[in-house]
C-alpha cells in the first residue's frame, strides 16, 4: 500500500523556480479540473492543455538537475522527480501534471539490462529473442521494485492539490515489447515483427507477461493518487490494422479493462491515422493523435463517445509566436462546439525547443476560449 496523505508524506522541498507560478486563475480548490471533465467528454469553460515531455531537456532548470543526476537516478529519486514535475507545471501554467518517469521503467525488474546511454537513448543489453528468454522472466512485484514511481505521484499530488490533476503513465504492451525485442529504438521493427509472425508462442507469452505487469503498474500509480493515466503506444503505428487486431488489441483492451471505472485512461500512439477505427475498440476514454491527421477528422472516426487529445506539431514550437498562435487557433477551431478536447502536442516537446514558444502555445490555448 502506498500512502499519499499530505499530512504523512514528507514535505516536498520545492526550489524557487518551481514556486514561481505562470498560472492565471484557471483552477482553484473545490473546482473540478477542466482536464478531468474533458476526459469524460463533458463541456469545459476553456480547453485544458498539457504537453507530453513537458518536463525535459528544453528547460534550463531540468538541465541543471541532470548535471548531477543520470536519467535513471533522477527517475528513482522521488523527491527530485516530483520537484521537476511540480516546477514544470508552475512554470508553464499547464492544466495537468504528468509525472517524471519513463515508459521503459518496467524493463528494470524484468532483468533485461536496461540502460540509458548519454545521447543515444535506451539500450536493452539482453533482448528477448526466444521462448527461453520469456520463460526466464521473473515474477515482479511493482509495489516493491517500482515503488519510487508511486512515491513521486504521492509527493506531486500533495503539492499540486487544488492546482492541477496528476497523470500517471506506462508504455503500452506492444511498445514495451518492441523495445525488449529490438534492444532499443528501431526504424522498421524487423525483429519485433519477425517474432510476431514466426514465433506466435513467444509473442503471446511475452505480451501476456507485459500486460499483467503493466496493469499492476498502473493500478499502483492510481492507488498512489494519479487522477488519470496514459498508455503510450509510441511505435504501434508501424502495424497494419489487421495485425493490430490480431497481435495487439486484446492485450491493450486487457490493460484498460483492468483499470475500468477507476480513473480516465488516455491511449496515445504516433502514425496511427490508419488505425483509428480499431483503436476506438480499446476501451480508452481518451485517444491522443499526432499531427498527421486533422483533429476533426480523427474525432469523426473515433466517434463522440471518446474524448480526443492533440495535436500540435512539436516542431512548430520553434516558429515565431504569431505562427504558434495561428497554429493553435486552427486546431481549436476544428473542435469548436464539441466537448471532450484536451490540447496537446502530436508527440513530446523536443530538445532545444524555445521555452518562449511553449509559453506562447499555452497562452494561445487559454486565450482562445476566454475571448
69 burial via Cβ count (<10 Å: 0-12, 13-18, 19+): middle
- What pLDDT, on a 0 to 100 scale, did the predictor assign at position 5? 42
- What pLDDT, on a 0 to 100 scale, did the predictor assign at position 32? 83
- What pLDDT, on a 0 to 100 scale, did the predictor assign at position 348? 95
* Residues in the chain with pLDDT values less than 50: 1-10, 17, 23-30, 370-371
- What pLDDT, on a 0 to 100 scale, did the predictor assign at position 262? 81
- What pLDDT, on a 0 to 100 scale, did the predictor assign at position 120? 63
Helix (H) or strand (E) holding 167: strand 166-171
What is the bridge-based pairing of β-strands 97-98 and 341-345? unpaired
- What pLDDT, on a 0 to 100 scale, did the predictor assign at position 237? 95
3-state secondary structure of 347: coil
Q: What angle do CA 51, 54, 58 make, to 5 degrees?
A: 130
- What pLDDT, on a 0 to 100 scale, did the predictor assign at position 21? 55
- What pLDDT, on a 0 to 100 scale, did the predictor assign at position 15? 59
What the block records as the C-alpha cell of 236 is: 504501434
- Catalytic positions are 53, 57, 66, 102, 179
Domains along the chain with CATH numbers: 32-368 (3.20.20.210)
Cα–Cα nearest to 268, from 279, 258, 257:
279
Helix (H) or strand (E) holding 278: helix 276-279
- What pLDDT, on a 0 to 100 scale, did the predictor assign at position 254? 98
- What pLDDT, on a 0 to 100 scale, did the predictor assign at position 360? 97
- What pLDDT, on a 0 to 100 scale, did the predictor assign at position 270? 95
Q: What angle do CA 125, 71, 52 make, to 5 degrees?
A: 105
Pairs from 363-367 (Cβ < 8 Å, separation ≥ 24): 363/93, 364/324, 364/325, 364/328, 364/329, 365/46, 365/47, 365/49, 365/328, 365/332, 366/24, 366/26, 366/46, 366/47, 366/49, 366/93
Amino acid at each position: 500500500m502506498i500512502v499519499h496523505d499530505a499530512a504523512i508524506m514528507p514535505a516536498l522541498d520545492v526550489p524557487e523556480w518551481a514556486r514561481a507560478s505562470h498560472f492565471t486563475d484557471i483552477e482553484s480548490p473545490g473546482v473540478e479540473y477542466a482536464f478531468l471533465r474533458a476526459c469524460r467528454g463533458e463541456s469545459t469553460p476553456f480547453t485544458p492543455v498539457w504537453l507530453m515531455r513537458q518536463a525535459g531537456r528544453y528547460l534550463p532548470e531540468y538541465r541543471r538537475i541532470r548535471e548531477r543526476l543520470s536519467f535513471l537516478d533522477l527517475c528513482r529519486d522521488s523527491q527530485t522527480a516530483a520537484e521537476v514535475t511540480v516546477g514544470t507545471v508552475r512554470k508553464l501554467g499547464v492544466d495537468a501534471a504528468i509525472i517524471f518517469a519513463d515508459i521503459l521503467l518496467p524493463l528494470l525488474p524484468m532483468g533485461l539490462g536496461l540502460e540509458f546511454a548519454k545521447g543515444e537513448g535506451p539500450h536493452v543489453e539482453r533482448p528477448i529473442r526466444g521462448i527461453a528468454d520469456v520463460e526466464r522472466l521473473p515474477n515482479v512485484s511493482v509495489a516493491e521494485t517500482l515503488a519510487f514511481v508511486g512515491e513521486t505521484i504521492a509527493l506531486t499530488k500533495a503539492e499540486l492539490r487544488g492546482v492541477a490533476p496528476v497523470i500517471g503513465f506506462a508504455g503500452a504492451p506492444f511498445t514495451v515489447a518492441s523495445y525488449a525485442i529490438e534492444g532499443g529504438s528501431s526504424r522498421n521493427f524487423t525483429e519485433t515483427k519477425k517474432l510476431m509472425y514466426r514465433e506466435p508462442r513467444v509473442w503471446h507469452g511475452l505480451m501476456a507477461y507485459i500486460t499483467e505487469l503493466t496493469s499492476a503498474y498502473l493500478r499502483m500509480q492510481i492507488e498512489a493518487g494519479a487522477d488519470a493515466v496514459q498508455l503510450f503506444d509510441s511505435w504501434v503505428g508501424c502495424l497494419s490494422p489487421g495485425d493490430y487486431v490480431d497481435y495487439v488489441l486484446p492485450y491493450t483492451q486487457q490493460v484498460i479493462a483492468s483499470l475500468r471505472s477507476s480513473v480516465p485512461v488516455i491511449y496515445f500512439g504516433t502514425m496511427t491515422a490508419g488505425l483509428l477505427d480499431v483503436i476506438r475498440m480499446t476501451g480508452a476514454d481518451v485517444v491522443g493523435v499526432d499531427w498527421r491527421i486533422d483533429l476533426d477528422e480523427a474525432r469523426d472516426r473515433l466517434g463522440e463517445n471518446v474524448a480526443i487529445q492533440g495535436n500540435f506539431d512539436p516542431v512548430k514550437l520553434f516558429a515565431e509566436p504569431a505562427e504558434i498562435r495561428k497554429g493553435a487557433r486552427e486546431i481549436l477551431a476544428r473542435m469548436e462546439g464539441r466537448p471532450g478536447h484536451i490540447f496537446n502536442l502530436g508527440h513530446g516537446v523536443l530538445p532545444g525547443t524555445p521555452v518562449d514558444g511553449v509559453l506562447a502555445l499555452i497562452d494561445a490555448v487559454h486565450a482562445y476560449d476566454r475571448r
